Structures are given as structure tokens and as C-alpha cells.
Amino acid sequence: MFIKRTITSIIIEKLKKTNKGIIIYGARQVGKTTLIKEIVKELNLKTLVINGDQSINIDIISSRDLNKLKSLVDGYQLLVVDEAQRIPEIGINLKIILDNIPNLKVLVTGSSSLDLASKTSEPLTGRVFRYNLHPISFLELSEIYNRVELNNQLEERLIFGSYPEIFSIVNNNEKREYLQNLSDAYLYKDLIEFGNIKNSFKIRDLLKLLSFQIGSLVSLTELGIQLEMSKDTVARYIDLLEKSHIIFRLRGLSRNLRKEISKMNKIYFYDLGIRNILIDNLKPLKNRNDIGQLWENFLIVERIKKRAYKQIYASDYFWRTQYGSELDYVEEKDGKLYGYEFKISDKKRKIPSSWINAYKNQAIFQFINQENYLDFIL
């Protein structure tokens, strides 16, 4: 099943209007290669494709030799470098190309930002636009399905997630097999290789613990005790997992009010299918006790995808006080705070009075449930 990615038109427009390079980050199997093929097809330029997983032309693209680089791309209008994190010195070589071959369009992908970011961030400052490609979003599905049809898909997305291939698999047992293989064979590949992690089982154990803590404050000290690792090692692993586009963190909102909690983070998963396979729970919603966690994770990650693809810039937080008052999600945008509370049922909560008292002149509140969630994420 082909699902057009929203980011496609954004990248094509950038490539047409600027001489800067484009870097697309994303986890493995998230659809970067398919996206590249679609962009190449629509641009209809003479294109040279170099794949970091293959050996051909790697010696030249990593040579730092301008004459060799010019000879390699001679006659081409577009250079595509796929899996660029595997190519030695890719950052400095891309800098040489962008600085010295101005009429050549450059499009780069990396399955993990672990190594790619460290190799490209400094040499390419000011020379590239960077984008993240996420699992399929409801925003993208809304180009194919109407709202009734999207609602009918909700349980499927909460359980099996939104990796592109999952949409082409009909049988639930085959979906389980796909997610298991993705988790075992692909998810940690770059992380282990580039993150210098020797005990891969510790990463899986950490992810499993985090899977049970969606929506809760995460204590690095407690995780370290359970995993028999130091607090610093846990922090490093979480940082690597975030750079691998498996999880992301929300910080606590704090405006220097003494009673607000801001030192601990909440952690969510970019894909709920991955989260659910880690805890071996692909049961229907009616047989689960974690629906609230799934709902919260789903809404936050879909909101993040929407903002990324619509290029809406805001900062995200959760909000909680020492006395237990809290909001699931807060966005700060244009000097205003937008607070959201998520409930999959219709039962509404009162707006915390401490939120009103603290931010009454700059804050807005909204309750999100199944009646209005599509407005929130579309």
C-alpha cells in the first residue's frame, strides 16, 4: 500500500529553490528509501545514488579529494547518499561538494542520527536543511481516508503502530512477526554499532521498563537500580535511544515556581507497535489495562508529527506540581501556553486551579477525547 508522505512536497520545494543540501533522519524501516525514490521520480533529474550499505563509490565519496568528487558527480544534477552514517568522513566530503559544486542538488538520508549527526553537524552548519521522517501519521492517512474511516483505524494504530509495512499486512500473527523481527533485527542495529554498546540486552531491558512508564515521571536512579547500571549509564542509553528515533522525552514546564516539578522527564515511544511488542502485549483494547497510556502516547506523537510536517514551531512539556496537579501536555508558542488533558473516555476533569492561578494571563486549556482528537492531530 502506497501512502504519500507529507514531507515529500516540502523537500522537493526546498531542492528546487535552494542550493543547500537536505538531510533526512529517521529510524530503519520508516520509509526513507521509498521517500527518496518518490522525490527522485518527481524531480526527474539525472541522479547518482550512493548507498552506504554498499561498497561502490564509497572510497571516492569519503576521499576529501575535490577532483575525485567532481569526477564522480560529473554529468549528474542530483546526488543521493542513502544510509550516509556508514560512510567515513561523510560530513566534510558533503561540505566540499556543497561548497564547490553549486549546481548539484544533494539529498542525504541516515537511519540513525547517532553517527551521521556527529559527522555532519559542524562541517555542514548553514549548508543543509534537516528533516525527520516518522512512522506514518494520521495527517498522512487523512489524505486517503475520511474521518469515519480514520476512527475505525484507531484501535489498529494503538496496538500495531504505524510503520509503513504494517499497513500491507492483513493477518495479526504476521503483524506480530513483523514487529518482532523489526525489534530484534533492525531497531538496535545502528545504536549498537555506533553507540559502542556491548550489552544489547540491557538496551532491550531498559526499553521494556520505559514501556511500562509511559506518562509517568522517569527516575534514572530507580532504572539504574533495576538494571544494575549506574545512573549516568542509564542517561547515556536513553540519549542514544532518543537519537535513534525510538523514544523521545518531555521535560516538565517550569517558570521558577517552587512547587513545579521540572527535574524529571516523561518518556514516550515514536511507535506504539514497537512499544507493545517490547512488552509482548498486542491484545485488543477491551482486554488491556494500559489504554490511558496508549492514548496519551498516541496523541502526543501524532501532534509532534503534525507540527513537524506542517512546520509549526513550538516547545513541548508536561506540567505537574508537587501536590499532584498536572496536565498531560503543554505547548509553548508565540508567548502563550496551551495546556491539554487527554482522556479516551468522555469523562472530563476540572482545569487545575493551580494552572489557572499561575498562568491565567497567558494560558489556554483544552480537554482532548475521542470526540475531538482528530482536530488536535490533523
**Per-residue pLDDT at 350:** 80
Confidence grade of residue 118 (pLDDT, cut at 50, 70, 90): low
Q: Is 213 left (phi over 0), alpha (psi -120 to 50) or beta?
A: alpha
CA distance 57 to 15: 23
Confidence grade of residue 354 (pLDDT, cut at 50, 70, 90): confident
- Its sign, for the CA torsion 44, 20, 53, 175, is negative
Confidence grade of residue 52 (pLDDT, cut at 50, 70, 90): confident
Apex CA 24: angle with CA 129 and CA 156, to 5°?
130
Residues in the chain: 378
Give residue 368's Cα distance to chain centre.
22
**What percent of the chain is modeled with pLDDT above 70?**
94
Confidence grade of residue 352 (pLDDT, cut at 50, 70, 90): confident
- Which helix (DSSP H) or strand (DSSP E) does residue 72 occupy? helix 66-73
Domain spans in the chain, listed from the N-terminal domain onward: 7-132, 138-198+237-310
Who has greater pLDDT, 27 or 100? 100
Decide if pLDDT at 174 tops 90: yes
**Per-residue pLDDT at 116:** 65
Residue type, 374: L
Residue type, 321: T
Residue type, 161: G
Helix axes 90-100, 113-120, angle to 10 degrees: 50
Who has greater pLDDT, 27 or 80? 80
**Per-residue pLDDT at 321:** 84
pLDDT, one tens digit per residue, over 261-299 is 667 899 999 999 999 999 999 999 999 999 999 999 999
Q: What are phi and psi of 160, to 5 degrees?
A: -100, -5
Q: What is the topology classification, in CATH, of domain 7-132?
A: Rossmann fold (3.40.50)
**Per-residue pLDDT at 255:** 72
State mean pLDDT over 183-203: 75
- At residue 320, the 3 state secondary structure works out as strand
CA distance 300 to 297: 5
**Per-residue pLDDT at 176:** 97
State mean pLDDT over 178-203: 78
pLDDT, one tens digit per residue, over 206-233 is 999 999 999 999 999 999 999 999 999 9
Q: How far is CA 140 from CA 31, 93, 137, 231, 309, in A?
A: 13, 34, 5, 39, 9
pLDDT, one tens digit per residue, over 140-166 is 999 999 999 999 999 999 999 999 999
CA distance 161 to 252: 26
The pTM assigned to this predicted structure is: 0.93
Quote the mean pLDDT of the chain: 91
**Per-residue pLDDT at 263:** 75
Give which of 68, 59, 11, 1 is closest to 35, Cα–Cα: 11
Q: Are the C-beta atoms of 25 and 113 separated by less than 8 Å?
A: yes
Q: Are the C-beta atoms of 269 and 262 separated by less than 8 Å?
A: no
Confidence grade of residue 119 (pLDDT, cut at 50, 70, 90): low
Q: Cβ contacts of residue 9 below 8 Å, gap of 6+? A: none
**Per-residue pLDDT at 256:** 56
CA distance 82 to 54: 10
State mean pLDDT over 68-77: 97
Give which of 26, 21, 24 is closest to 125, Cα–Cα: 21
